[in-house]
Structure 1
Amino acid sequence: MSERPDILTRYQAYRTRRFLENDARTRHWLPAWRTQHRRRILVVAVAVMLFMLFVVSISSLFTKWAALAWIPAVLVFIPVWTALQTVSGRHSDAPVGALDEWEVQQRNEARSIGLTVTQTLVMAAAFASIFLSTANEDMPRLAYAGGGWTIAALMAGICSPAMILAWITPDPEPEDTEDFDPK
């Protein structure tokens, strides 16, 4: 009698299969942006956009119209973030079965740093919201601003593993970047 794998094993196999299928489909997108120098440009661009989200959140505390700046900031952030994920191979999100031992180690270290970034920034946003709510009761937009700080903090933590991996990963080997012929 053969034992059937448990649900987690089957799910991980499914995730690995899907990841490898998506990787095969996107591995040749944006070939000129797959160098370490260009990936670093995208990392800086994502960092700037995350900083802009924090600035917009802080500004929304003082004026209600600043909240409208979220729209263009997010509209710029999404394609830059997507490009970074594409050119870095989404290794920060990859299941263990799709990576070699060194890549798993690098991914886990980057995720650990990402967790620390998330915890630190969200804690700072929470303390700022708590302090401001007790220090001054005449801040009608504090809840919105605090929510924006928290969302920006979460996004920074979510993005940091991919940013770290994109920054530290060396250029791909020449045979990995050969022209793709889809036939």
Structure 2
Amino acid sequence: MSEKRGRLAAYWERQLERLEEVERKRALRLPGWRTRKRRRTLSVLVVAGDLLLISGAVFFKTAPDLVFLVGWFGGSLLAGGAHYLLRILTGKMSGGFSTRLDEREREWRHRATFVSYQVLVALMVVAVFYALIVSGTEDGGGRGAMMGAALLVTGTTLAAVILGWSLPDDDPEDFQDFEEVSTR
């Protein structure tokens, strides 16, 4: 049993080292964008993309296919691209293990994930009621599924949006350690 535990601990350490290396690379990306103003702009773009995605789900099978495609795929591209950039700018707080965070970062992350979880639960309740409302219509099952998917995507992007909106400007000194390690 101790041999197995030793292998698991070694595997866990390798995973943490790999995630730390990913974070080092990510910390050097977009250095000029690491301001509150940029993160807030990206947060607004994620929310706008999510709303476009939801509107695409509303128009699924009820409007011309072009309207649905523009809403669904346009919202996916807008929200997905902005969310990707926002995760880079919020750093390890939005995607890392909490053991790698200091107390302040852990507190920010827990607040953001708690609020986003509560909103996600509320959105899933909305999805259930929407599915019940449209269940008697033609293609009601598909429409309910599309709305559920859109609201699920919206709920999963909220933690990064909250962090992006509320975090202060990054301190350039925080990234000197990463720059020194990358030049070695």
Measured in 1, the distance between the counterparts of 2:88 and 2:134 equals 39
The alpha-carbon deviation at position 176 of structure 1 amounts to 2.8
* Alignment map for 1:56-75 (pairs within 5 Å): 56-63=56-63, 65=65, 66-69=67-70, 70-75=72-77
Measured in 2, the distance between the counterparts of 1:75 and 1:56 equals 13
For structure 2, which runs of at least 5 residues remain unmatched after alignment? none
Measured in 1, the distance between the counterparts of 2:17 and 2:145 equals 36
What's the TM-score, normalizing by structure 1?
A: 0.84
Q: CA separation of 1:12/1:101 partners in 2, compared to 1, >3 Å: closer, same or farther?
A: farther
Candidates 106, 109, 132, aligned match of 1:107: 109
Measured in 2, the distance between the counterparts of 1:72 and 1:36 equals 25
Q: How many aligned residue pairs are there? A: 179
* Alignment map for 1:141-152 (pairs within 5 Å): 141-152=139-150
Measured in 2, the distance between the counterparts of 1:9 and 1:177 equals 29
The alpha-carbon deviation at position 9 of structure 1 amounts to 6.1
Measured in 1, the distance between the counterparts of 2:102 and 2:68 equals 44
The alpha-carbon deviation at position 16 of structure 1 amounts to 3.0
Q: Percent identity?
A: 27
Q: CA separation of 1:49/1:11 partners in 2, compared to 1, >3 Å: closer, same or farther?
A: farther
Measured in 1, the distance between the counterparts of 2:82 and 2:160 equals 12
Secondary structure of 1:140's aligned partner = coil
Measured in 1, the distance between the counterparts of 2:165 and 2:113 equals 14
Say which structure is richer in helix: 2
Aligned-residue Cα RMSD (Å) equals 2.6
The alpha-carbon deviation at position 86 of structure 1 amounts to 0.7
The alpha-carbon deviation at position 3 of structure 1 amounts to 7.7
* Alignment map for 1:99-178 (pairs within 5 Å): 99-133=101-135, 137=136, 139-177=137-175
**88-97 or 36-45, which deviates more:** 88-97
Secondary structure of 1:92's aligned partner = helix
Does 2:30 align with 1:30? yes
The alpha-carbon deviation at position 87 of structure 1 amounts to 1.1
Does 2:42 align with 1:47? no
What's the TM-score, normalizing by structure 2?
A: 0.84
Does 2:85 align with 1:87? no
Give 1:112's aligned amino acid: F
